[in-house]
Amino acid sequence: MTLIKSISGIRGTIGGKPGTNLTPVDAVKFAAAYGAFLRQQVEKKDLKVVIGRDARISGEMIQALVVNTLLGMGIDVIDLGLSTTPTVEIAVPLEKADGGVILTASHNPKQWNALKLLNAKGEFLNAAEGELILNLAEEEDFNFSEVDHLGELTANDSYMDIHIDEVLNLSLIEKDTIAKSGFKVVVDGVNSSGGIVMPMLLKELGVEVIELYCDPTGHFPHNPEPLKEHLKDICELVVKEKADFGIVVDPDVDRLAFISEDGEMFGEEYTLVACADYVLSKTKGNTVSNLSSTRALRDVTQKHGGTYTAAAVGEVNVVAQMKATNAVIGGEGNGGIIYPESHYGRDALVGTALFLMLMAERGGKVSELKKSYPAYFMSKKKIELTPGIDVDKILHQMAERYKEEDLNTIDGVKIDFSDSWVHLRKSNTEPIIRVYTEAPSQDSADALAKRIMDEIGSISQ
């Protein structure tokens, strides 16, 4: 059982003892800390927060705790109910709210949940703001309202429709062009919010939809992280239904992966590459992804005459770098598309619409599209951490071992070799060290990952 407190929010497993897992006590404590933070930061009396959740089993319980804690602090709440991370991000500025809370543990299994915290722009808080909330929670420096000054609760279940309308109104999305292509697509909604909103979007775009695991019960039918080893069912169904491709989202619908018509993974790393290829063909500009993302985005960006920049891992870091470089599109190699014309947040709805436009204009098969991009292969491994392991010491030792190579230490340790790279970093969301590698073949990427993991194992003993 685990409770992870970080600058990006609080995340943990349900049940157990307060302070060691995500219990009702912890949910109230951190919701109150967020409310206290808003009171400090926003110079007005009447505050408003938008809240939404994914479909995981603990969602309604945690949402009731967070909502009523904020009401108890005199803060008005707009409750979107079952929603998605990008939908809440869009709703915050539209509601002229002072912040937002998304109750989701993203790709983590069903026993997890989390509080993701937003600012008034609908963007994730930065490191300094996150640290302040952690301090407020530790000090329990809260001031609840008297009975005549409690917040007001408003339910609004229209924002999935509003979100879809926002996507349809993007300048590069042409509904008729997509509809004329007659696409047939399989959608795996992992029995969460994506099972509702993704079929809605696709039908609006004139796409024939085959639904797989689209009942939002919160009982995930497979590990919800959209990786190849978890997606056997949709890969088989795409081939059986003779679909043009498959779409997979995670429980809160900010990550996006495609399945080619032959049942093979398009590769979540190439989700951003393909969407950027389409955007850059229409809008000249720059791109950003994180240090753990494929080199293929750099190559595609340079082909279109733009400049690629790498940021530290984490959506807030990518967004900051996108703003600094005036990037026209960016994101993360985990299938997260950030398109500023919509909003500065990863959005599977936006990514799906951009990909459909690319396929509608290019024609051909998804497998052929993949072959048109530079061929890189990644291995994404993780090392489970046990109490007492000094991760910072391990990373320092690995940096020393490879100090003659091209090193980047702004976020863990990235070692760039001539034809491959490895990125080692401590996760903000799980008790693990992530080990990502990329090389010209899958065998060489896997071999590099194994070699590095063996080296870490030898120095951590």
Which letter, b or e, does each residue of 426-446 get, where b requires 16 or more Cβ atoms within 10 Å of its Cβ?
Answer: bbebbeebbbbbbbeeeebbb
Catalytic residue among 8, 58, 83, 106: 106
Secondary structure of residue 246 in the 3-state scheme: strand
pTM: 0.92
DSSP collapsed to 3 states, 303-361: HCCCCEEEECCCHHHHHHHHHHHCEEEEEECCCEEEECCCECCCCHHHHHHHHHHHHHH
pLDDT exceeds 90 at position 349? yes
Name the most confidently modeled range: 88-92, 124-128, 265-269, 423-427.
88-92
What pLDDT, on the 0 to 100 scale, is given for residue 429?
65
Give per-residue pLDDT as tens, 410-449: 899 999 898 899 999 988 667 789 999 999 999 999 999 9
Q: What is the DSSP string of 120-183?
A: TTS-B--HHHHHHHHHHHHHT---PPPGGG---EEE---HHHHHHHHHHTSTT--HHHHHHTT-
Q: How many CB atoms lie within 10 A of CB 165?
A: 10
Mean pLDDT over 107-120 rounds to 95
What pLDDT, on the 0 to 100 scale, is given for residue 112?
96
- Annotated active-site residue 106? The verdict is yes
Give per-residue pLDDT as tens, 48-107: 999 999 999 999 999 999 999 999 999 999 999 999 999 999 999 999 999 999 999 999
Sheet of 286-290, strands arranged across: 308-311, 286-290, 327-332, 336-338
Q: Is 284 exposed, middle or buried (0-12, 13-18, 19+ CB in 10 A)?
A: exposed
What pLDDT, on the 0 to 100 scale, is given for residue 1?
55
Radius of gyration for the chain, computed over Cα atoms and rounded to the nearest angstrom: 22
42-46, 285-289, 355-359, 421-425: range with lowest mean pLDDT: 42-46
Mean pLDDT over 359-374 rounds to 97
**CA–CA dist 291, 404 (Å, integer):** 19
Q: Of all helices (H) and strands (E), which one includes residue 115?
A: strand 112-118
* pLDDT band per the 50, 70, 90 thresholds, residue 4: confident
What pLDDT, on the 0 to 100 scale, is given for residue 436?
94
Return the structure tokens found at 37: 């933070």
Give per-residue pLDDT as tens, 223-240: 998 888 999 999 999 999
Give per-residue pLDDT as tens, 326-337: 999 999 988 999
* pLDDT band per the 50, 70, 90 thresholds, residue 2: confident
What pLDDT, on the 0 to 100 scale, is given for residue 211?
98
* pLDDT band per the 50, 70, 90 thresholds, residue 461: low
Cα first-last separation, the chain: 24
Residue 76: DSSP 8-state: E
* pLDDT band per the 50, 70, 90 thresholds, residue 370: very high
Of 256, 264, 252, 246, the closest CA to residue 209 belongs to 246
pLDDT exceeds 60 at position 209? yes
Instruction: Write down the mean pLDDT value for the chain.
Output: 95
Question: Domains of the chain (ranges plus CATH)?
Answer: 3-157 (3.40.120.10), 163-371 (3.40.120.10), 377-460 (3.30.310.50)
Q: What percent of the chain has pLDDT over 70?
A: 98
What pLDDT, on the 0 to 100 scale, is given for residue 172?
98
